[in-house]
Structure 1
Amino acid sequence: MKIAFIGTGVMGTDIINNFLKNGEDVTVYNRTKAHAQGVLDHGAKWADSAAKATLGNDFVFTMVGFPKDVEENYFGEEGIFSTVKPGQTLIDMTTSTPTLAEKIAAEGKRKGVGVLDAPVSGGDVGARDGKLTTMVGGDKNAF
C-alpha cells in the first residue's frame, strides 16, 4: 500500500510512524519540512507539496490544523485535487466542518476518487499507541 500523509503535527506524526512500523510506503508533506524530520528519519519520503505527495499513492490522508488548512491542501494551486487520479482514496482526518467535507466529497466524485471524512478521538496518546477511534463518513465503496 502506498500512502501520502499531509500534516506532521502531533497526531499525524504518530500515525505516520505507526504506518512506517508496519512496513507501509509513506510520502509526507507539511508546510514546514523541519516539522516532518522525525518521520523522515524513520523512513518516510518527502514531497514538496500536497499535489506532489498525492502522485502515485493509493491513499492520501490529511490531518492538518484548521478547516482553512484543509481547504488549501485540497483545493489550492498545489493541492491534492490538482494531481489526484481516478482510483485513489482521500481520507481527511482533520476535525473540520460538514460543509467542507461535502465540498471535498463532491469534487472527489467529479474526479472519480473515493473520499472519506474520518475525524478521530483518542488524542496524542491514542495516536502514539495506535488506538484511535475513527468516525468515518462517506461513500460505502470508498470505505
Structure 2
Amino acid sequence: MFRRLPCLILPAVCLTTAPAHAAGTDADALFFKRAASCVAVLERDATEMAGRYKAGDRSVKPALVRLTEQGFTFIGKAYLRGLRKPEADRLIDEAHAAQKAMPADALGQLSAGCRAEGAKLYADANGFEQMVVSNRAKARVDKLLAPKKPG
C-alpha cells in the first residue's frame, strides 16, 4: 500500500528539505527499522478500516486518511534520511513477518505508538510537506475505497 510513495511524491518534498544522508548512522538504521515496523502495522490497520468502510461504515474514512498520512510521513522521513527502495522493501517485509507472530494486544500497542509518533512527525513537518503527504494520502484512500471494476 505505502511502498509506491517515494517514487511519486518524495522528490518534491526533498526540494524543500535538507538532502538525504549519503552514509547512514546507527540512529538512521534504528529509525528505518521503526518506520518499517510502523508502516507495516499501519498498513494492517488501513486494510481493516477499508474493510469496515466497504461493509458500510462510512465514518471510518477521516480516520483512514489520517492513518495513511501517518504512514506516508514515516516513509517520507525515512526517505529524507537516506532509505531507498530495496532496503525499505526488505525492512517492511521483515516487519510484516515479525508482526504475524505478535499477539493482538502487542499489535494494538504498536499501532497506538506508531499512530502517535506518525501524528507528531506529520505535525512537525513543514506546510509544503504536509500538503504533499495529505494530497497523496487522500488519493491513496480514494483508490483503496473505490469499488472494484469488473474485469
Q: TM above 0.5, one fold?
A: no
Question: Which protein has the bigger strand share?
Answer: 1
Of structures 1 and 2, the larger Rg is shown by: 2
TM-score tier by shorter-chain length is under 0.3
Higher relative contact order (CA 8 A, sep 6+): 2
Normalised by the length of structure 1, the TM-score is 0.27
